[in-house]
Amino acid sequence: MTTNKEQLAQWIDAHFDEEVGVLQQLLRVPTDTPPGNNAPHADMVADLVKAYGWTAEKHAVPAQVVQDYGMETITNLIVRRPYRAGGPTVALNAHGDVVPPGDNWTYPPYGGVVENGYIYGRAAAVSKCDFATYIFATRALEALGVPLKGGLELHFTYDEEFGGLLGPGWLLEQKLTKPDFVIAAGFSYNIVTAHNACLQLEITVHGKSGHGAMPETGHDALQAATRILNAIYDQLPELKKIKSKIPGIDSPTMLVGRIDGGTNTNVVPGKVVLKMDRRMIPEEDPAVVEAQVRALIEKAVEGQPGIRIEIKRLLLSHALREQPGTEKLVASLQQNAQTFIGEKIPAQGTPLYADARLYGEHGIPAVLYGAGPRTVPESNAKKADERLLLEDLRKATKVVACTLLDFLGE
């Protein structure tokens, strides 16, 4: 006799060409962020799921809020699938915004080309693929025809690349959703249960311009900025001594990723802007770390004549930590992965950060799991020729569908 989970797998196999076709549609509508004009993609997704008899609620973030944030349009979607009372609400979250394609592609970045078992395109692996994973896992579950309890929500959001505050963060702050469990976009061969926090600061060093032939008439902002750079990079050996106890996460990191300043080759720089990134392991306190970094920067230029600095926080992303209930998600995903992937996949942390943390900040157990390879570099994520092995999409869809059955089946 065929089990319910075998029937789910059979349905996914029978509809897999359709799933690949949907993923191609998802990849062919650009969502480069910046500039972040992502509402057209949300409109397309809403129309797409209407064909399945589903209604996608469109939650547009107010235009001025989005523009002040540095993007153009954000419309987040919630598809609610309520079942019988008595069970949990499980949310599946994937983000549609992506970094711009960049150069050196051998495939069209928005072509959705399928070749040699792979699909190519920006967001093929991170994370438009999991729009398809989660849609078809849900369709398979409902096609099974068994009694279901609780509810299922699909959260398709458009602000992960800028930090998520106007994606899942907006939905949660506006009290539009409060699920009991969350599975967010990830890869097929590991379950992410924790990730690092991230602090990003913009440091503006003000000096005074002067003629290059008479540098003493100015106050060199670049020379002061160099002191800040040295102070930051001198801290790296100390950060290496701090170790996380979470598998998959090592030590904090810190770097300056961008420097802008000066007016011309023969002019004393009157202004320099540094943008820095400090990754924090889950065991660190973000408030304490921010205070330490600010003090480090201020001390580096203390007493420098004619120099003034401004420090502006660009981002403070908190860590994802395990919540009570995380272990239930992990156990179900691992058991189903054993069936369809043929191995026990690990549950561990990652040094990256994602918008799944925002669910965790609301006390909701959340893990990252979806379609993708064993490592980020294999997928070319955020690089040219981003790709996804279609068999990983098939396997992940089966694992997620069976996990949903574990949680929502009567």
pLDDT at 1: 56
Distance CA 180, CA 150 (A): 10
Residue type, 198: C
Residues 164, 264: one domain? no
HSE value, Cβ hemisphere, 13 Å, CA-based, for 52 = 21
Distance CA 105, CA 86 (A): 50
Handedness of CA 221, 227, 230, 235 (dihedral sign): negative
Residues 41, 126: one domain? yes
Q: Rounded to 5 degrees, what are φ and ψ at 171?
A: -60, -40
- The total domain count for the chain is 2
pLDDT at 2: 76
Sheet strands side by side (includes 113-115): 113-115, 118-120, 387-389
Residue 151 to residues 9, 16, 136, 256, 350, Cα–Cα distance (Å): 21, 24, 16, 44, 29
99: tokens are 């970094």
DSSP 400: H
pLDDT at 315: 87
Model confidence pLDDT, tens digit, residues 111-125: 999 999 999 999 999
Question: What are the beta bridge partners of residue 350?
Answer: 195
Distance CA 49, CA 142 (A): 14
Residues 42, 169: one domain? yes
Domain boundary among 258, 290, 317: 317
Residues 155, 32: one domain? yes
Distance CA 290, CA 270 (A): 26
Provide the CATH number for the domain around residue 221.
Answer: 3.30.70.360
Residue type, 77: L
**pTM score over 0.85:** yes
Residues 202, 186: one domain? no
Give how far the C-alpha of residue 114 lies from the chain's centroid of Cα atoms, to the nearest Å. 25
Distance CA 410, CA 121 (A): 39
Closest CA to 150 of 141, 162, 160, 161: 141
Handedness of CA 39, 45, 48, 53 (dihedral sign): negative
- On the 0-12 / 13-18 / 19+ scale of CB atoms within 10 A, 262 is middle
Closest CA to 331 of 369, 373, 371: 369
Say whether 263 sits in a helix, a strand or coil.
Answer: coil
pLDDT at 47: 98
- Strand intervals (E) in 108-227: 113-115, 118-120, 149-157, 181-184, 191-195, 197-206, 210-211
Residues 114, 262: one domain? no
Residues 260, 278: one domain? yes
Q: What is the pLDDT along the chain (410 residues), one digit of tens a residue?
A: 579 999 999 999 999 999 999 999 999 999 999 999 999 999 999 999 999 999 999 999 999 999 999 999 999 999 999 999 999 999 999 999 999 999 999 999 999 999 999 999 999 999 999 999 999 999 999 999 999 999 999 999 999 988 899 999 999 999 999 999 999 999 999 999 999 999 999 999 999 999 999 999 999 999 999 999 999 999 999 999 999 999 999 999 999 999 999 999 999 999 999 999 999 999 999 999 999 999 999 999 999 999 999 999 998 889 999 999 999 999 999 999 999 999 999 999 999 889 999 999 999 999 999 999 999 899 999 899 999 999 999 999 999 999 999 999 98
Residues 181, 239: one domain? no
My answer on whether omega of the bond before 237 falls inside 30° of 0, hence cis, is no
- On the 0-12 / 13-18 / 19+ scale of CB atoms within 10 A, 168 is buried
Distance CA 396, CA 410 (A): 23
What is the chain's alpha carbon radius of gyration, rounded to the nearest angstrom?
24
Residues 262, 362: one domain? no
Residues 323, 282: one domain? no
Closest CA to 199 of 309, 324, 291: 291
Residues 306, 353: one domain? no
Domain boundary among 273, 288, 317: 317
Distance CA 110, CA 294 (A): 41
Start-to-end Cα distance in the chain: 19
Residue type, 127: S
Residues 25, 140: one domain? yes
122: tokens are 């920006």
The stretches of 263-348 forming alpha helices (DSSP H) are 286-300, 326-340
Q: Rounded to 5 degrees, what are φ and ψ at 114?
A: -105, 125
Full residue range of the structural domain in which residue 132 is found:
3-195+319-408
Provide the CATH number for the domain around residue 21.
Answer: 3.40.630.10
Domain boundary among 317, 344, 363: 317
Model confidence pLDDT, tens digit, residues 265-301: 999 999 999 999 999 999 999 999 999 999 999 999 9
Report yes or no: 74 and 164 within 8 Å, Cβ to Cβ.
no
